[in-house]
Amino acid sequence: MGTIGATLIRAGRRFLSSLPALFGVLVFTFLLMRVLPGDPAVFFASGPSAGKEEIEVVRKQLGLDRSLPEQLGIYLYDVGRGNLGRSMMTGQPVAKDLQQRLPASLELTLTALVIALIAAVPLGVLAALRPNSLIDHGVRLFCSLGVCVPTFVSGLLLIYVFYYLLGLAPDPTGRIDVFASVPPARTGFLMVDFLLAGDVEGWWAAARQLTLPAFTMALFVIAPLARITRASMLVSLGSDFVRTARSIGLSRWQIVVTYALRNAILPVITIAGIVFSTMLGANVLVEKVFSWPGVASYALDALLVSDYAPVQGFVLLMASIFVAVNLLVDVLYGIADPRATAA
């Protein structure tokens, strides 16, 4: 009970301390919008041919005739009400567009994260168990190469091998075949929605579609995760409590997993925030390569036709997710290491 309370207090305190950064993010995104090329009033008026008076009217409507601090206030008020402006491309409110497309991005990113963790932690542990062995060198080589291959290149090469050469992967465009029936959207996560609808065939098709992009993204972050797991496992395996555990004759599994790994996992949690930042960035590239209908490809499409409200909304959304993830990482850290909460 006491621990849960302490964790909650810690979470609350961390949330409060992340508020200034979040406010900074809002101001920064606002300023970015203000330096965007072109006069939004001209843009929103019926076109370049619009008369001067017409532009002035639009300027008033958009609040662009007011002072900068006033405009910032209006912007903060709008964001607070969930109003992120309107996209010219889709004609819909940006918030609604983002909401519709966010599940696709999250499904991809989370799947990739799970794949990366499942691959990286055992790899790091194996390498640490036998330092300088063949496995260790193999893992090190893989890690060194893994951070060097750009996500967009590895994605395209995976398409070449698994779609063109082997024919194992489906056509690498989008989340689902164009002609396939979409399950009723309950969560927005296709994998979950297909299961809820009891459509096994559809689930399989969606899973196949998801595999390549998720692996592409996972490949890029396996390296840092495996590397840090290896380093902290080495420290933990060399420590006194592992020697003690060994001397009293505990099983190997118990020593490695219960004793060493549990202590070694803390640094892995710490860099999870950085890894997630990398993934949100890589997400942009992977969505582009696989025509994945997520928030990033939405922002990219908007960017190419100079439709800035979606880009701004996207940046704000990514930063907010990132702040939230850092908060979560912090709380998890407190749970994994009670000392951090006590301090």
Partner 1 sequence: MSLTATSSGLRHTMWVLRGNPVTAIAGAAAILLALVAIFGPMLVPYDPVASDVPRALQPPSALHWAGTDQLGRDVFSRLIVATRLDLAIAVTAVSVSFVIGAVIGSLCGYVGGKLDRAVGRFVDVLMAFPLFVLAMAMVAALGNRVENIVIATAIINLPFYIRFARAEVNIRRNLGWVEAARACGDGHVSVVLRFLLPNVLPAMAVQMSLNLGWAILNAAGLSFIGLGVKPPTPEWGIMVAEGARFISTGRWWLVSFPGLALMLAVLCFNLLGDGLRDILDPRMRT
Residues 287 and 108: beta-carbon distance below 8 Å: yes
CB of 143 to partner 1, least distance (A): 10
- Residue pointed to by tokens 């036709």: 305
Pick from 6, 11, 36, 57 the residue near partner 1 by CB under 8 A.
36
76 near partner 1, rule: CB under 8 A: no
Binding pattern for the stretch 256-285 against partner 1, x by CB under 8 A and - elsewhere: --------------------xxx-xxx-xx
- CA-based nearest residue to 114, from 225, 206, 234: 225
Contact 204, 122 (CB under 8 A): no
Q: Which is nearer to partner 1, 215 or 308 (CB)?
A: 308
**Residue 178 — φ and ψ, nearest 5°?**
-60, -35
With beta carbons less than 8 A apart as the criterion, state whether 44 and 58 touch: yes
CA distance 11 to 3: 12
- Determine the interface stretch with partner 1 among 30-38, 117-125, 182-190, 247-255 (rule: CB under 8 A): 30-38
Please name which of 299, 257, 329, 334 lies closest in space to residue 29, comparing C-alpha atoms.
299
**Given candidates 77, 164, 204, 241, which one binds partner 1 under the rule CB under 8 A?**
164
Q: Does 28 bind partner 1 (CB under 8 A)?
A: yes
**Rounded distance between C-alpha atoms, residue 36 and residue 64, angstroms:** 14
Nearer to partner 1, 236 or 312 (CB): 312
Residue 172 sits in the site that holds partner 1 (CB under 8 A): yes
Number of residues that bind partner 1 (CB under 8 A): 58
Interface with partner 1, residue 319, by CB under 8 A = yes
Residue pair 230/288 in contact (Cβ under 8 Å)? The answer is no
Q: Which of 139, 308, 331, 333 binds partner 1 (CB under 8 A)?
A: 308
Least distance CB 54 / partner 1 (angstroms): 26
Among 160, 235, 244, 338, binds partner 1 (CB under 8 A): 160
Give the list of residues 6+ apart from residue 104 with CB closer than 8 angstroms, or none: 175, 188, 190, 292, 293, 294, 295
Taking the complex as a whole, how short is the minimal distance between the CB of residue 303 and partner 1, in angstroms? 5
For residues 38 and 51, what is the distance between their CA atoms, to the nearest angstrom? 16
**List of residues contacting partner 1 (CB under 8 A):** 18, 20-22, 24-25, 27-29, 32-33, 35-37, 144-145, 147-154, 156-157, 159-160, 163-165, 171-172, 231, 276-278, 280-282, 284-285, 288-289, 299-300, 303-304, 308, 311-312, 314-315, 318-319, 322-323, 326
